[in-house]
């Protein structure tokens, strides 16, 4: 039957019969959960099991955005509250080792939360380097405004997830930090020179280019391709992401339903694959949008299949830990900070 190069969301707390039949027919590579899919731990675990039962392949990626701060799908009081990325940068600036440990601890504990539910991919770390005047869609999600700090903390966060058997997704490659608008609503256009982009925006991704998964930025970089955002630009993907950055993991697009992209869903899908994406992502659970995406998506094969297998092979690498001890250590680091914020469905 073959695996379709797609990651899809679903509409609610359990699958409808129509959704179940669609997934069984299409065989998507993976699924993604949002706040609309989350009620209790028992319900989430049951939904994840439902999703996995719809496809015939093993090691099905189940994604979620669990960054901490304002981007969190699993929320208190049923799940622990975690700080936004900027908190680790604040600690790093005072004590580098403490900041890196804090980031690792949070990711390791989030991995423990996720694995209990059957979720095995977290759309983290955010490797974007914001600049003064950029839109706050990244904002406090960023670890800092220096590429070395972002790289160091991003690596610790990734290692924390991996040690818990959860795959990180580095985002938004090759960099969303200069965006002046929110790509959920509009298309950002970045006019920085190649030299400036290489020095800052691209650097965290280059340093973490051995990670298994990455998510594109719906951002136009005029110095590279003035017509197309990274997601649909073969120049950005081939010359920058695969070339200069050297990323050879599985590349997924950011959500195809975001308003930064233009055209029909067939056109968005085809353009993403033609540019070099391995997998397309669609998040809102709308079957009327998913059907044309599925019809326009190829089966996983060639380098894309190799990259997908290379990623899912890492699921088995769960390192034992004393979770209670780690939570106490994490709590001590959190004590002096207030970071709880209202959650949002935004976040990619």
Q: Look at the pTM and tell me if it is higher than 0.75.
A: yes
Q: Are 222 and 256 in contact (CB under 8 A)?
A: no
If you write DSSP's letter for every residue of 278-309 in order, what string do you get? Answer: SBEEE-S--HHHHHHHHHTPPBP-HHHHHHHH
- Classify 126 as helix, strand or coil: strand
pLDDT tens per residue across span 264-308: 999 999 999 999 999 999 999 999 999 999 999 999 999 999 999
pLDDT tens per residue across span 313-331: 999 889 999 999 999 999 9
Burial 215-251 (b: 16+ CB within 10 A, else e): bbbbbbbeebbeebbbbbbebbbeebbbebbebebbb
> Any catalytic annotation for residue 122?
no
Q: Which of 184, 239, 248, 303 is catalytic?
A: 184
pLDDT tens per residue across span 174-226: 999 898 766 677 788 999 999 999 999 999 999 999 999 999 999 999 999 99
Q: Where are the domains of the chain?
A: 84-256+310-329
Tokens of 344: 């949002």
Q: Give the model's pLDDT for residue 346.
A: 55
Tell me the residue ranges of DSSP E strands in 179-236: 189-190, 213-216, 220-221
Q: Which CATH class is domain 84-256+310-329?
A: alpha beta
> Any catalytic annotation for residue 184?
yes
Q: Confidence band (pLDDT; 50, 70, 90) for 337?
A: low
Q: Which of 113, 122, 152, 254 is catalytic?
A: 254
């Amino acid at each position: 039957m073959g695996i379709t190069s797609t990651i899809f969301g679903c509409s609610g707390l359990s699958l409808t019969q129509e959704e179940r039949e669609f997934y069984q027919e299409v065989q998507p590579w993976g699924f993604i959960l949002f706040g609309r899919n989350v009620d209790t731990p028992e319900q989430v675990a049951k939904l994840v099991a439902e999703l996995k039962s719809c496809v015939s392949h093993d090691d099905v990626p189940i994604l979620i955005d669990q960054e901490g701060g304002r981007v969190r799908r699993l929320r208190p009081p049923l799940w622990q509250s975690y700080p936004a990325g900027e908190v680790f940068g604040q600690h790093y600036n005072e004590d580098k080792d403490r900041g890196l440990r804090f980031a690792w601890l949070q990711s390791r504990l989030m991995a423990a939360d996720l694995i209990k539910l059957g979720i095995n991919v977290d759309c983290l770390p955010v490797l974007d380097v914001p600049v003064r005047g950029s839109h706050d869609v990244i904002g406090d999600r960023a670890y800092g405004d220096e590429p070395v700090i972002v790289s160091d903390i991003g690596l610790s966060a990734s290692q924390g997830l991996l040690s818990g058997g959860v795959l990180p997704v580095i985002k938004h490659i090759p960099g969303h930090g200069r965006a002046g608008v929110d790509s959920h609503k509009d298309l950002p256009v970045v006019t920085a020179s190649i030299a400036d982009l290489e020095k800052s925006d691209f650097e965290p991704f280059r340093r973490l280019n051995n990670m298994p998964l990455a998510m594109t930025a719906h951002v136009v970089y005029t110095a590279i391709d003035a017509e197309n955002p990274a997601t649909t630009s073969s120049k950005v993907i081939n010359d920058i992401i695969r070339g200069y950055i050297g990323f050879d993991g599985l590349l997924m697009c950011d959500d195809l339903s975001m308003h930064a992209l233009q055209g029909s869903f067939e056109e968005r899908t085809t353009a993403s694959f033609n540019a070099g994406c391995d997998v397309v992502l669609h998040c809102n659970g709308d079957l009327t949008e998913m059907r044309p995406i599925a019809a326009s998506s190829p089966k996983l094969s060639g380098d894309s299949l190799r990259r997908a297998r290379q990623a899912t092979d890492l699921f088995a690498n769960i390192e034992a830990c004393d979770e209670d001890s780690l939570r106490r250590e994490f709590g001590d680091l959190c004590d002096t900070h207030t970071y709880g914020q209202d959650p949002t469905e935004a976040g990619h």
